[in-house]
Amino acid sequence: MAERGRARDRRGGRAGTWPTPQAVAVPSQTPSGVSPAIVARFRAWARAEAAAVRLLPWVPVAFGSGIAIYFSAGHEPVAWFVSVIAGALFVTALLLRRHRAFPAAAMVAAVVAGFAAATVRTAQVSHVVLTRPMYTPLLQGFIETREVRERTDRFVLRVVRMDSRRSHVRLERVRLSVRKGAAPAVGSFVELKARLQPPLMPVRPGSFDFARDMYFHGIGASGFVMGAIKTVSPPSGGGLMLRYATLMQELRDAIDARIRLVLSGDSRAIATALLTGRRDAITTPVNDAMFISGLGHVLSISGYHMAVVAGVVFFAVRALLALVPALTATFPIKKWSAAAALAAAAFYLLLSGAEVATQRSFFMTAVVLIAIMVDRRAITFRTLAVAAMIVLAMAPESLIHPSFQMSFAATLGLVALVQVGMPKMLATPDHSPTAKAALWGGREIAMLALASFVAGLATTPYVAFHFHRVTPYGMVANLLAMPVVSALVMPVGLLGLAAMPFGFDGVFWRLMDFGIEWMVAVAQGVTELPGAIGRVSAFGAGPLLAATAGIILLGLLRTPLRWSGVVISGLAVAWSLAATPPDILISAEGRNVAVRGEDGRLRLVSAGKDSFAVREWLAADGDERGPADPALAEGVSCDDEGCVVKLSGGGLVALTRRPEAMRDDCVRAELMVTQWEAPEGCRAQVIDRNRLRREGALALWRAPGASGSGVSTDSTSRPRFAVVAVRPAGLERPWSSAAADEQAARLQSRSEPPADATPAPEDLQPDD
């Protein structure tokens, strides 16, 4: 044992320790003039961090890096080739496991394995994606999921039969909107007519890619139902999974119906969301208040909810078993309680719909409970690493989803706090009972505040990147609301579920209502505070990656090298603040153009009604105005032939509606957006329909001398524009293919759908 201990010390020591710098031989001076003692100290820290006993938490980091590299590729890799390379590197790492090169070999193998896992996953879910709008007079299929929303309902149809007059495309799944209350029951086989649209592409370069998200859900198109939905006899039973989905949906509907008998409005919607995961019926004002105040995480079933469910069941079962002295003295009731909590968490996973975010939370909770059952320490970096690897291996695409990033960033911060900071706050045996009692209340409040602060700070980069806001009063809102949610709302909700079969659940829903009303009141009160809405302008992926690196270094490193994470995070903040917003934004259809005016704010030149894109543009610009704000039209001059607006720094941008206006706009404008091809000799830089069809939405920066499309005969006196596209040339991914669009455009008929196919105005809104 002593020999093994000394060998382990020579390899770098146990976790949390490192060799002393005095044990390392160093030269008397270094060429750079840095003190030899400092160099020796850094080398010792680096060796300690590279010790084999500390490798496991870094494996999911390397695995995730490979997934990130995959999603940045310009075209789809060859699945079998990258799989062979990953296997070869894995074998190489195994052969080097006793060599000092093993850590580097293991990390390289993990990176390539992540790349291969994402490639294989994409190949597994491969399906047809609609590239052009189409009308289908006949769609038959099974209803797989149903969502009840504030204005409309929505469901996913697994297509069995699809007829179209102009296309031979056959989709596997489509997501359809229908008027409120008209969505069929899950599991039913229906027949309908629909107007289908391609999955929504990013509305600006760098924004969330809805098409990619829908691709990995197996959905090839979205749209709206036209006419009545008929329930018909199915050609088959639909399969075991569909029967399971039907059973769980019926259970959710039954729970919602019981809650509806006692509660109403947002209280009912939030109670249903907490217990079943259905949060679409929450009104917009309350939903906005929850997210602005920093309490939005309560509405999405995550690690917090899983922890509360498992914790309540664990302690309740253990307390009941402890009432029997014979069980306490003879059997491992702690392990039995953990097993019961695991079963409850699994049921909660199924009841809430088993979304990717909920699966991630369940895996984390399951690893903790299993650790208890096998007598291992539960809350460790290894626990977090195992949970992360399970999630990334099963669904590599979750890495680029905000819920994954925020969840694991917060969890990493909390685990680091538990292992590094919180032990120092615990009472010691030297305290008297009176001092301990006094310390308990203050300690719990301090721990809650510190945990809220750490989790909020860790998730700030991702909230700013994806949602363009920060929550200045998030810690205040969480301190006021979360104790009530944890101690009252969730426990009595679970008791309500348990009491439903006996008919005594009403009292628990009323108790749940008290806590929900308090939480909503806190959210609305915090939202009304000055500066509650912290708006952040959009920045690129570079600062986000730097912030992620800083958080990981600060959380995983155990030596003083961890403080390098603070430096990198600070650089990420400076980098994000230095981002230059675009001067011009153009929608994929060319009907909306936003131009930055002399005051630095956007002006909207619009020929369409895409309020979703405009809202996203304004949010990404850190602008509090809404799409209907009259100030957006200041300085915009329009007539029947088009619109013009003055660009910051001089020059005009034109949105040309008719061909007869093009010649004049070619002479006067610096940039012209049009649905037609520009005439020869046009001096303006032209963005036409063909380019928008190929590249999607565009962002432009004024850069004299920069190359761009279009013809300019006076490049020395007229500014040019650097263009960044959603789909740049050469990008060929299954969910975003310009070549597929062009091919579909050639095959697509130009005839219009029948007159009865005209959609209602609300159906034209994109999927959220």
% of the chain surpassing 70 pLDDT:
83
Given a cut of 50, whether residue 710 has pLDDT beyond it is no
Report pLDDT for 438. Answer: 52
Pick the range with the lowest mean pLDDT from 95-104, 580-589, 706-715.
Answer: 706-715
Give the three-state DSSP class for 676. coil
Using 50, 70 and 90 to split pLDDT, how confident is the model at 433?
low
Locus of tokens 């995550």: 302
pLDDT tens string 635-681: 888 888 888 898 887 788 988 888 888 888 888 888 889 888 877 77
Strands (E), 302-401: none
Given a cut of 70, whether residue 709 has pLDDT beyond it is no
Query: Parallel, antiparallel, or unpaired for β 221-231 and 189-197?
Result: antiparallel
604 Cα distance to chain centroid: 29
Distance of alpha carbon 205 from alpha carbon 551, whole angstroms? 26
Report pLDDT for 120. Answer: 95
Report pLDDT for 24. Answer: 46
Closest CA to 484 of 446, 541, 453, 522: 522
* Residues ≥6 apart with Cβ < 8 Å to 639: none
Give the three-state DSSP class for 369. helix
pLDDT tens string 611-643: 788 889 999 998 888 888 888 888 888 888 888
Given a cut of 70, whether residue 751 has pLDDT beyond it is no
Report pLDDT for 238. Answer: 66
Report pLDDT for 636. Answer: 86
Locus of tokens 């039209």: 633
* Residues ≥6 apart with Cβ < 8 Å to 548: 405, 409, 461
CA distances from 131 to 323, 578, 629, 694 (A): 64, 37, 33, 11
Distance of alpha carbon 737 from alpha carbon 97, whole angstroms? 42
Given a cut of 90, whether residue 11 has pLDDT beyond it is no
Pick the range with the lowest mean pLDDT from 316-330, 370-384, 624-638.
Answer: 370-384
Using 50, 70 and 90 to split pLDDT, how confident is the model at 18?
very low
Report pLDDT for 428. Answer: 54
Pick the range with the lowest mean pLDDT from 16-20, 53-57, 459-463, 689-693.
Answer: 16-20
Given a cut of 70, whether residue 762 has pLDDT beyond it is no
Distance of alpha carbon 178 from alpha carbon 191, whole angstroms? 14
Report pLDDT for 746. Answer: 41
Given a cut of 90, whether residue 548 has pLDDT beyond it is yes
Query: What is the model's pTM?
Result: 0.83
602 and 591 in contact (C-beta within 8 Å)? Answer: no
463 Cα distance to chain centroid: 9
Q: Which range scores top for mean pLDDT: 88-97, 282-291, 298-307, 686-695?
A: 88-97
pLDDT tens string 100-137: 888 889 999 999 999 999 999 999 998 888 888 888 88
149 and 205 in contact (C-beta within 8 Å)? Answer: no
Give the three-state DSSP class for 391. helix
Mean pLDDT in residue range 585-605 = 89
Mean pLDDT in residue range 47-73 = 86
Average pLDDT, the chain: 81
Pick the range with the lowest mean pLDDT from 187-191, 196-200, 636-640.
Answer: 636-640
Distance of alpha carbon 242 from alpha carbon 144, whole angstroms? 7
Q: Tell me the residue type at 46.
A: A
* Residues ≥6 apart with Cβ < 8 Å to 434: none
Report pLDDT for 765. Answer: 35
